[in-house]
Structure 1
Amino acid sequence: MQGIRNTLEKTLNLDQLRSFGLVIETGSFSAAADRLGLTQPAVSLQVRQLERRLAVRLVERVGKRAKATPAGAELLRHSHHIETAVENAIDALADHASGITGRVRLGTGATACLYFLPAVLRSLREQFPALGIVVSTGNTDDHVRKVEENSSDLALVTLPAAGRSLSVVPVLDDEFVAIGRSDLAPLKARVTPADLAALPLVLFEPAANTRKLVDRWFAAEGLQPQPVMELGSVEAMKEMVAAGLGYGIVPRMAMVGRGAHPGLKISRLNPRMHRTLAVVVRRDKPVNKALRVVLDAILAAGAQTGRATARPK
């Protein structure tokens, strides 16, 4: 068995394998030769060479038909998978050889656009310079509508995102944190809805899914926040908090890495609050090569970010 494995790995000839499969499918060496555009002796030679390489008999005659031996039947069981794997590898290499071209229209929220997508888009540009990605920002409902209307190819949005025509694939779990100016009545390491409800708050605008999550977090404790400012930009929120105008609740991704702000301190929320970012596409959307590489890049970056930011409970 190990000898057969070594032979397959080193010397398996796909033309011989294809000829053998057609002989069994048609029941005849001459019929297989006609299908392949070869002579009957050439097909017979290919099958004999394959048998010699594997050191087993693959074909036997039953009446006037060529049939697979038990060893031949076992090889046939794997031959389709072998050919499929080779075709997939060739297709993957063809993408690199000919280049991925076209345009992909991507909708997303402002926070993900600022702190998650730049690295993804830079990597795609480096790998596929002929690929164009048009990014627009807005709230979840707007992007879901555009995907349903096919005016966007996909969207990276905060759940929930509903629609019978949509495929929704979670990408990343992002925790929320409270932020305050470091030198003005710093917050505790963990803050509750009651701790924050009495403070001046700078929150997302009401239409945003992120704001709805914040409101539900307070409502679970019977509280309703009274923000002094409602903004659509997380960067604007951070600057208002840094100016001492209030305290904010923002996704953690906006406060780490390139989003870190030297004048602000982070506090975790108790109970924990988080959002799920997900990719949304139409179920009937043809996934061409350009769209596939964008989808794969976003999902891979989400998995990597999730591992990098995971924290013990």
Structure 2
Amino acid sequence: MEKTLNLDQLKSFGLVIETGSFSAAAERLGLTQPAISLQVRQLERRLAVRLIERVGKRARATPAGMELLRHAHHIETAVDNAIDALADHASGVTGRVRLGTGATACLHFLPAVLRALREEFPALGVVVSTGNTEDHVRRVEENSIDLALVTLPAAGRSLSVTPVLDDEFVAIGRSDLAPLKARVTPADLGGLPLVLFEPAANTRKLVDRWFATEGLQPQPVMELGSVEAMKEMVAAGLGYGIVPRMAMAGRGAHPDLKISRLAPRMHRTLAVVIRRDKPVNKALRVVLDAIAAAGKKAGAVTRAR
């Protein structure tokens, strides 16, 4: 057997197994279902094995298909790394960088970074997706994104983790409704209606640990995944919140909300996460450098306050 594989056929096969159907894989790839079926049949003929079987209404991998899937991820990673490595030989900064981050950093940290990159490197594309730390770490490990800017902790044997910025947390409340003191403790907030991050977020875990320093467990009236939604709920007088300070700076400032510092101080560390074996081409290097420079500048501003 000649040892060659068609990468398009391999990708179609993987998506059929991932989605459980030929039609869903076709929709994901922008192709027709017959085209996907043909690619899978050609791959099966090439390898002389059956790769997919139907269990009920769902397409599943046969034992041979499962064996191929084990290798498919490594094949895709090797191809991506080869393409990324060759980008260093091209003139200028071109290509696409896939970046994962949290919603707050996406709204209040990255816009200025991305604008500066677009102005300096118009041929560079940065594709941003939002989610929580756990999901982004997994996607970095799988090489489905190139890097992530996430709230620590983030760990993995194959990962390089570089702290970028310490972001202080603050309490927020309406200015005209029982305003908070300039500095508030867990006891000050423990008996108030609270609007907090959803439990899965690393930021919420930090908040819970802050309350635990005085033996308290917060009982929020709302748990939200968006810092902007939290700010609007607090501004509507529905409770008090604890949010990263960057969400209240610059354009994030809200005319109806007052900030109070926390005692003891609470902060999160934003860090860049990337695979240790990831080839750093020109495009990825300028994105990494831009994030590091912006983090250093933001940290200097915070210390000056």
- TM-score w.r.t. the length of structure 2 is 0.70
Alignment of 1:269-288 (within 5 A): 269-288=262-281
Which of these two proteins has the greater Rg computed from alpha carbons?
1
Distance 2:271 2:149 in 1: 6
Is residue 298 of structure 1 aligned with residue 294 of structure 2? no
Alignment of 1:75-224 (within 5 A): 98-224=91-217
Alignment deviations for residues 4-56 of structure 1 (CA, whole Å, 9 cap, x no partner):
xxxxxxxxxxxxxxxxxxxxxxxxxxxxxxxxxxxxxxxxxxxxxxxxxxxxx
Deviation at 1:98, TM superposition (A): 3.7
Q: Which amino acid aligns with 1:160?
A: P
Give ranges in structure 2 of 5+ residues lacking alignment: 1-87
**Who is 2:258 aligned against?**
265
Query: Which residue, 245, 258, 267 being the options, matches 2:238?
Result: 245
**Who is 1:308 aligned against?**
301
Aligned to 1:310, what secondary structure does the other structure show?
helix
Q: Which amino acid aligns with 1:293?
A: V
Distance 2:178 2:304 in 1: 26
Q: CA RMSD in A?
A: 1.2
Q: Which amino acid aligns with 2:274?
A: V
Identity of aligned residues (%): 88
Runs of 4+, deviation exceeding 3 Å: none
Alignment deviations for residues 70-127 of structure 1 (CA, whole Å, 9 cap, x no partner):
xxxxxxxxxxxxxxxxxxxxxxxxx9x9421000000000000000000000000000
Aligned to 1:147, what secondary structure does the other structure show?
helix
Residues matched between the structures, number: 217
Distance 1:277 1:195 in 2: 27
Q: Which amino acid aligns with 2:130?
A: T
**Who is 2:248 aligned against?**
255
Distance 1:311 1:271 in 2: 19
Deviation at 1:221, TM superposition (A): 1.0
Deviation at 1:175, TM superposition (A): 0.2
Q: Which amino acid aligns with 2:161?
A: V
Deviation at 1:129, TM superposition (A): 0.4
Q: Which amino acid aligns with 1:179?
A: I
Q: Which amino acid aligns with 1:244?
A: G
Distance 2:100 2:199 in 1: 19
Deviation at 1:311, TM superposition (A): 4.4
Give ranges in structure 1 of 5+ residues lacking alignment: 1-94
- TM-score w.r.t. the length of structure 1 is 0.68
Q: Which amino acid aligns with 2:272?
A: V
Alignment deviations for residues 283-305 of structure 1 (CA, whole Å, 9 cap, x no partner):
00000000000000000000011
Deviation at 1:308, TM superposition (A): 1.1
Distance 2:161 2:293 in 1: 16
Distance 2:215 2:104 in 1: 28
Distance 2:228 2:296 in 1: 25
